[in-house]
Structure 1
Amino acid sequence: MPAIFCYAPAMAVALRSREQMVYDLIVAGSGSVGAAAGYYATRAGLKVLMIDSAHPPHQQGSHHGETRLIRHAYGEGARYVPLVLRAQTLWDELEQLSGERIMHRSGVINLAPADSTFLNNVIESANAHQLNVQVLQTEEIRQRWPQLNVPDGYLGAFEADSGYLLAEQAIRSYIRLAEQAGCAQLFNCGVDSIGTEGDLQTVTTGDGVFHARKLLISAGTWVNQLVPGLPVRPLRKVFAWYQADGRYSENNKFPAFTVEMANGSQFYGFPAKDNALKVGRHDGGQWINTPQERTPFGSYAADGSEAFSFLRQFLPGIGVCLHGAACTYDNSPDEDFIIDRLPGHPNRLIITGLSGHGFKFASVLGEIAAQFAADQPTAFDLAPFSLNRFS
């Protein structure tokens, strides 16, 4: 497939001229974070070039599969809450700007044994930030959602204002709005290498060498191909849709959910749509080293069955597996994000290591990248996400 160039009329210049142009920001990897960064930086008046090896939204990264949870009371730690609250504001704004529905406030019920670290972090972060979260005892959960078979000794933390995002629609909207704002977009064309030329960043592709004052590296799973030695490891993951009926639908007020089983396994899911309920397992998966190892759903015997024990115990009314998909996580060693300027390269920002819980933050991470490109400070404490924590 040939490279796709999308310009507003003012940007419709010959490729040779574009190679000679110095951009304020080049985005290497324009999936979730990169799509948002391209839009926000262009909206701020910067000259921006977005590059991606495919045409976002696509199925080569981590953003496909229709939906992603957005949780505000954060089991991964209260340090994420200010970021996710800003992200929510930006998602709501994107809905207004695009005219497309992005957010479903179905609510999210977090279920776990009473001594769960994750669940207690949810409750503590909700208290610290005065979030609308209701702590429910086992019997209260059963009465409210009789579809859920909750074991004795479990607690629930229900986030009424949370829910899920339409991930592919969100990226599609960012790509379109960026183009309309005048952003140059080079898709179906991967980045071969990055370098420097004087004070400028250089990005080499099959369609030429491009120059910018600042560079965002948001290349997802295979970021180590551009920046060798990063503490990021690709993990193959799957999710699937299972037969369900109207009892599990959003119209019946069935929420999105996270569940920690007694053995520590972690599952998540969404209200049923068109009689299909999507479920994924957050832990587990297969470590991989090449894109070819990210094989389709069904290529491992466990793909179609890894959720069965969870479904039998917690959602016994759910039926057979209808279809599934594979994706990849870009995991950091501690599963916290990496948001930092590369050592020795203050004009390069790296956003990676999102470890399977990053999509909900894509809007605010894109805004942070745009602030970096404009030499503006961010309102957030990013120290917990620096590379030096691995030194």
Structure 2
Amino acid sequence: MKYDLAIVGCGSVGAAAGYYAALSGLKVLMLDSHTPPHRHGSHHGDTRIIRHAYGEGEKYVPLVLRAQELWNKLEEVSAVQLFHRSGVLNIGPSSSEFMRNAENSASQFGLTVEKMDAEQLQKRWPEWSVPDGYIGLLEPNAGYLKAELAVGILNEKAAEAGAELHFNCQVDAITPEDNGVKITTSEGEFSASRVAVTAGTWVKALLPELPINPVRKVFSWYQADGRYSENNKFPAFTVETPEGDQFYGFPYNNDGLKLGKHNGGQPITAPEQRRPFGSNTQDGSEVFGFLRQFLPGVGVCLHGEVCTYDVSPDEDFILDSLPHSPQISVVTGLSGHGFKFATVLGEIIALQAAGQPVPFDLSPFKISRF
């Protein structure tokens, strides 16, 4: 049997691609070396922020607005809440490029954003302590997604739509052929007209030519109370420190206040180097300095997790077909800010596989820029 589309990696983007491609009537094969949702990639840890006024650049805004529409639609068809409109508060120096990009994105696309100075911010949320010269940009229509729940539902919906799922199936090779692609796996060989590689951190094991660097990252939960909760209108947040470090966090729930440092981490080259939380001495203390300066009322570290980023040289996405093999498309280099886009990236893969036009400018995300 020859499939119209094979998907290698069924985490967030791959699961969405399988769902939308199967919905469109394509014969879809979905392959993953584990059983998603799982803890071996980048989608675990319960929650992921979704922002619209995008500090990483205005080129992302049309994509994330479509992604939000698709997340909302997925909630409707699954009757499960995946998106929490907690609001997202971006905090940084008034001179910050990230903050300037977020403000420009809001202006260009007519997004609702409330700007405030340090004094106004602290009056509204006394839990915060921010330096003079800082500003806050609150996106009331943004929030966070339930990540593992979403991945599970997308894979379930893909199966319901007719996709064929093979989990715990290691993919060993992807070989271009004249009329498609051969995929060699632990379960044998499969044939497809087109393959989408959404394999996350270890994509270079299959496509070593890609300019991707895997990075070990940690995130952790800290002792907090109801002041920091969604019920108390405490939003999800991003913060840029005076030193240029970037932190993010989520409203408190019963597991504590979840926090992480976006930049930094440990470069790795093999899965065994992705050691458990606490293996590195700085794991448990990575956010202490940030907490002392910005959220001094938050307590001790309760527990933590490890994930990995697939980082491109410029930390922008790679959304492209391979130059020498146009039947092989890749979504990689998500660089720690990709989960929110999973639905739209999956839709793009499905459109390409069906030979349909893609209604977005993907030129900034081409491999050729490197």
Where on the TM-score scale, by shorter chain, does this alignment land: which range? Answer: over 0.9
Corresponding residue for residue 239 of structure 2: 259
1:278 is matched with which residue? 258
1:197 Cα deviation after fit: 3.5
The correspondence for 1:335, drawn from 315, 328, 346, is: 315
Partner of residue 4, structure 1: none
Q: Could you tell me how far 1:200 is from its partner in structure 2?
A: 2.0
Shift of 1:282: 0.3
Query: What secondary structure is seen at the aligned counterpart in 1 of 2:201?
Result: helix
Question: 2: CA distance between counterparts of 1:323 and 1:313?
Answer: 21
Contact 1:52 1:188 in 2 (8 A): yes
Q: Distance in 2 between matches of 1:163 and 1:369?
A: 25
**Aligned: 1:208 with 2:188:** yes
Which letter does structure 2 place at the counterpart of 1:253?
A: K
Deviations along 1:122-178, one digit per CA (max 9) or x if unpaired, are: 101110111000111111101111111111111001000000000001111101111
Describe the SS at the equivalent of 2:193. strand
Alpha carbons 1:68, 1:165 under 8 Å: kept: yes
Percent identity over the alignment is 59
Indicate whether 1:80 and 2:80 are aligned. no
Q: Does 1:371 align with 2:355?
A: no
Contact 1:66 1:166 in 2 (8 A): yes
Preserved CA contact (<8 Å) 2:218 2:307: yes
Choose from 219, 225, 233 the match for 2:205. 225
1:1-391 equivalences under 5 Å are 21-274=1-254, 276-390=256-370
Q: After TM superposition, what 4+ stretches of structure 1 lie above 3 angstroms from structure 2?
A: none
| Partner-residue secondary structure (3-state), 1:56 | coil
Per-residue CA deviation, residues 162-205 of structure 1 (Å, 9 max, x unaligned), is: 00000001111101111111110000111000113331211000
CA distance in 1, matches of 2:176, 2:318: 22
Residue 348 of structure 1: how far off its partner (Å)? 1.0
Q: Is the 8 A contact 2:118 2:136 kept in 1?
A: yes
Q: Alpha carbon RMSD of aligned pairs, Å?
A: 0.7
DSSP-derived class of the 1:326 partner: strand
Q: Please, what TM-score do these two structures have when normalized by structure 1?
A: 0.94
Count of residues paired in the alignment: 370
Please tell me the residue identity of whatever aligns with 2:95: D
Query: Which residues of structure 1 form unaligned runs of 5+?
Result: 1-20
3-state secondary structure, aligned to 1:209: strand
Alignment CA distance shift 1:181-1:275 (3 Å): closer
2:4 alignment partner, SS class: strand
8 A Cα contact 1:55 1:188, kept in partner: yes
Rounded Cα–Cα distance in structure 2 between residues aligned with 1:190 and 1:98: 29
CA deviations on 1:23-53 (whole Å, 9 max, x unpaired) are: 0000011111000000000000000010000
CA contact (8 A) 1:244 1:275 kept: no
Q: What is the CA distance between 1:55 and its match in structure 2?
A: 0.4
SS at match of 1:178: helix
SS in 1 for 2:319: strand
Q: Report the Cα offset of residue 367 of structure 1.
A: 0.1
Alpha-carbon distance in 2 for matches of 1:184, 1:91: 23
CA displacement, residues 93-118 of structure 1 (integer Å, 9 cap, x when unaligned): 01011111100000000000111111
Taking structure 2 as the reference length, the TM-score comes to: 0.99
